[in-house]
Structure 1
C-alpha cells in the first residue's frame, strides 16, 4: 500500500470495486465522511506522528495525491523508509492533512483547474485517459464540494452536472466547440465557488473603511450645519437657529428610517439576496466615485454651498419656518443617505468575517467626531480641511474600485451578470479583482473615469479662468485699437 495515495482510497470508497464485496459509497456517504475514511485508512498502519510538517507539505491539494513513497521522498528521508522515524514523519504529514482536508483553499481549486486542463488536452487528442483525468478533477473538487453546497446548493449541483458531462464527453469524442463550451462552464462555476468559500475580507481593512466613512461623512455634516448657523448669524437671523436644529433632527431620523427600510427589503426578499447585494454595492460604487470627485472639484463644492445658502436665503425671505427646516434637512440628509448606503455595502462585503470590525470602526469614528466637534466649537481649533478631504477622496475612490469588483461578483452569483473567465488575469479578492471580463471591465471603466476627472480638475479646469481672462484682454485691446484708428468727425458748423 505504499504506492497508494489518500485520493486513491477516496476513489475506491466512492465508486467501489467491481467483482468484490466493496460497494460504492458515493450515494451513501457525504464527501466529508468519505475523505475522513480515506485519511483514516492512510494512517491506520503508521506509528505516532513525529516532527514538524514542512510548509510545502501542508496543503492537502498537493499531498492528498501523493503515495507514501512520494511523500517520504518529499520529506527527504533516508532510503530505508521503514524506519520508525521516517514513518513517524509520514504520520505527521497525514495527520496534518486530516485536520485540513476539508479546508477551502486556493491550492485545492488550483489542483482542480490543473486536472481539468489536462483532461481537456487529452480529450482533444482523443486519448481515452481523458475521462479518468476528469474523474480525478471531480474527486479533488469534492474536498470542497460540501462547503459549496452548504452556501450555494444550486452552484454545487451545477458544477456536479458539468463534471459529469466532462467525464462523459471526454470519453465520447466530443467536438472541440462542445469541449470549449463545457470548459467555460466549469471555469465560471469554479470561480464562483472559490469566491463563496475562499474570499474573506480583512477585518482590519473593514475597520479602517468603516472608521473613514463615519469620520468623513460626519465631519462634512458638522461643517455644513456650522456653515448654515454662521450664515444665519451673518444675516441677523440668529433666532431662527431652532429651525436648523429641527431640520437636522429630522434628517437624522430619516437616515435611520432609510437604514431600516433598506434592511427590511433584504430580509423580505431572501431569494434575491445576491442580486440586492450586488445592486447595493454598484450603487455605492457610483456614489463613492461621485463623492470622491465632488470633494476634489472646488467648483462643485462652491455650487453645493451656493445651493444650500440660496435655499436658506429663500427661506428667510419667505419667513417660512418650514422652508428653513427643509433646507437644513436637505443638507444633512444627503450625508445621512450616503452613510447608510456605504455601511450597507460594507456589511455585505464583510459578511464572511462578521459585523464586529464594521461596528467597532463606526463607534471609533463617532468618538473622534465628538472630539473634533468639541475642539472646533469649544477651543476654536482650525482643521486642515484641504489635506483631509484630499486623502479621504483617494480612500473613497479605493473603496469604489473594490466595491465595483465585488458588486459584479454578487450580481454574477445572482445570475444577473454572465461570468466570462480570463485565464491570464490575476485574482486579488482584497482589491475586488477577479479574473472575469465583467468585473475587470467595470473596474477599468472606473479607472478611466478617474483619469478623466483628475485631468479635468488639475489640468483643464485651472487653465479655463486664465484662458477666459486672456480672451477678455485681447478683446479689450482690439476695441482700443479700433477706437484709436477712427478719425473723429468734424463738429457741425454753428
Structure 2
C-alpha cells in the first residue's frame, strides 16, 4: 500500500490500501483516466482487466497458504474481483486471443475458489496479464528511460509528507492514519509489484479516500521517474552489474518475485538494482519524437472520453517534453520542417482548447503525426553526426546568447563612453549573478525540485516580457538624453547613484538569466543525442560560439568608443528599443508553449531571430511594444521642439 500527496495539498492526509485501489478502479470515476495510461488503441476494458490481474498477482499470495484462508475479508475480495475480471474479458473487442483469455480467466477463478497456494495463483495472473497486454496492445514500458534522480525530487514534493523522506511510512501527515502509510522499504511487499504497477498507482486516484489522481500533476515521464525512485528503496546499487542485463520492457513489467522464481535468488539483487536505475538508453531524436506521438495519442483518447483538461495538459507535455528538445537539432537541418511541425502541434492543441468536434481534432492530430514522422526521418534514429553535433552546439549558444550579449555590450559601452566606470561593476555583478542563478536553477530542477517543461517556459516567458519593458525604458532614456547638455550631471546625481546602478545591474541580470537556463537545457539534451562520439563536437561548437560572442562584444565596445556621443546614444537607443520588440515576441511564444496562452495563426512571415511569429497574440504584443516606442519617442520629439522654441 502506498500514500502519495501533492505539495499543494500538504494539509491533506491520505491513505492507501491496494485492495481499495482496485475496488475504486472498478467502481469509481477514475475509470475515465485509464485510457490515458495505455496506448490510445488499447480498449479501456483491457486496461482495467490488466490492472485487476496485477492486483490479484500482488495481494492473493498472503491471503491463502496450504489451502487455508489467512484473511477472510481479503479472500472474498479476490473471489469478487475474479468474477468482475471474467465480465471484463468477455466484453473485450473481438480478437483471435479472446477465447484463450476467457479460458485462462476461468482457470484463474477455479484456482482461487479451490484456494490454491498464493505463488501459483500469482504466476497464473501474471502470465494471463502478459498475454492480455500483447493481444490488446497495452503499453507497459516507458518510452523514455526512467530517471530516479528526477524521481527523487518529485517524491520529496508529492510523497514524503506521508511516506517520510526515506520511505519508512513515517511522514508527518501519516500520523494516526489507519492503515498507516506503507513502508516502502519493505522488500517482501515491493517484490510483488512491477515498475508498471507503481507507475499506475501514481496515475490513479483512490475512490473513497482523500488521495487524488496524480495524472494531472505528474506527466507520464514523471510518474515513471518516481516509480524508479521508489524501487530504489529496496535495491543495492552495487548489485546492478550482474551477469545479466534486462531491457527496459523487462524491467518495467516483471516483478522481482517473478525473477527470483524463474532465474533464482542470485539474480534478484541485480534485477532490483537495475529496475531502480535502468540502464540509460541514449535519448535520441527518435525516442523523444516517439514520446511526443504516444503522448498525443493519450491526449486524443482523453479528449474522446470527455476529459478536455487532461487532453490539453497531455498535448502540452507532448510538446515540451519531446519535440521541443529536438527543435534545435531539426532547425539546423531544415528550419521550415521545424516550423511546420511546430505549427501542426500548436494547431492540434488549439483544437482541444477551442472544444472542436473529435473528428476535427483527429484530423489535426493526423497532420501533426505525419510531420513528426518527417522530422524523425530528417533527424535519424541514432545519435547525431559529428558535423550536426558541432553545428548544433555552435548555433544553440550563438542564437540564445546573441540578444544577451547585445544588451550587455550596449550598457557597458554606454557607461565607459560616459566616464561612469564605477557603474560597470554593478553591471558585471548583475550578469555574474545571472550565471550563478541560471546554473542553480538548473541544479534545483534536476536534483531538488521539479521544474517541468511548462514551468520552464513560463519562467522564460515572464522573464522575457520583463526584460522587454526594461530595455525599452533604457532605450528611451538614452534617446531622451542624446542632445542634453547636462546629461552627465543628471547621471551622476541620479541614474548611476544608487537606484540607477541597481537598474543597470537588474537589466544585466535578466538579459543573461532568461537565456542561460534554456541554453543549459538544450545542451543537456544535445549531449544525450550526440552520444559519446559526438561530445567533443558539441564542446567544440559551444567554444566556437563563445569566441564569436566575445568578439561581437569587443567590436561593439571598440567601435562605440570612436562614435560621436550623440550618434552613439541614438544607435544604442534604437538597438535597445528593437530588442524590446524581439523580447516581447519571444515572451509571448514561450507562454504559448507553456500552455498559458492559446494560438491564433495568421498569414504573416516569420523570423525567429527577431521574435516575429505568424500568430495574432505574438504580433499584438510586438505591435504594442512598437506603439509604446512611437508614443515615447513622439513625446521626446515634442519636448525637444518646445525647448527649441523656448
> TM exceeds 0.5?
no
Higher helix share: 1
Greater Rg over alpha carbons, structure: 1
TM-score normalised by length of structure 1: 0.44
TM-score normalised by length of structure 2: 0.35
